């Protein structure tokens, strides 16, 4: 899958509209910064290769 550039500031603005969640101007830059951190962490998880034949366990056994 090709990686698409995501404008996080635009994403935050649009999602705030969709969710009817006003973000005060004083907090907007912090929200955008946090989404940048979330995106970086999610990328690590998404890049982890999982074999096609793996199955979820029905019971967790540490």
Q: How far apart are CA 29 and CA 15, in angstroms?
A: 15
Res 3 pLDDT > 80: no
Per-residue confidence band for 61, with pLDDT thresholds at 50, 70 and 90: confident
Q: pTM for the whole thing?
A: 0.69
* DSSP SS3 for 7: coil
Q: What percent of the chain has pLDDT over 70?
A: 94
Return the structure tokens found at 32: 């955008």
Helices in the chain by DSSP H: which ranges? 8-18, 25-47
Q: Per-domain residue ranges for the chain?
A: 24-48
pLDDT band at 25 (very low <50, low <70, confident <90, very high): very high
């Amino acid at each position: 899958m090709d990686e698409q550039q995501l404008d996080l500031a635009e994403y935050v603005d649009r999602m705030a509209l969709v969710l009817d969640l006003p973000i005060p101007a004083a907090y907007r830059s912090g929200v955008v910064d946090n989404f940048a951190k979330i995106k970086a962490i999610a990328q690590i998880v998404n890049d982890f290769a999982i074999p096609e034949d793996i199955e979820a366990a029905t019971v967790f056994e540490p």
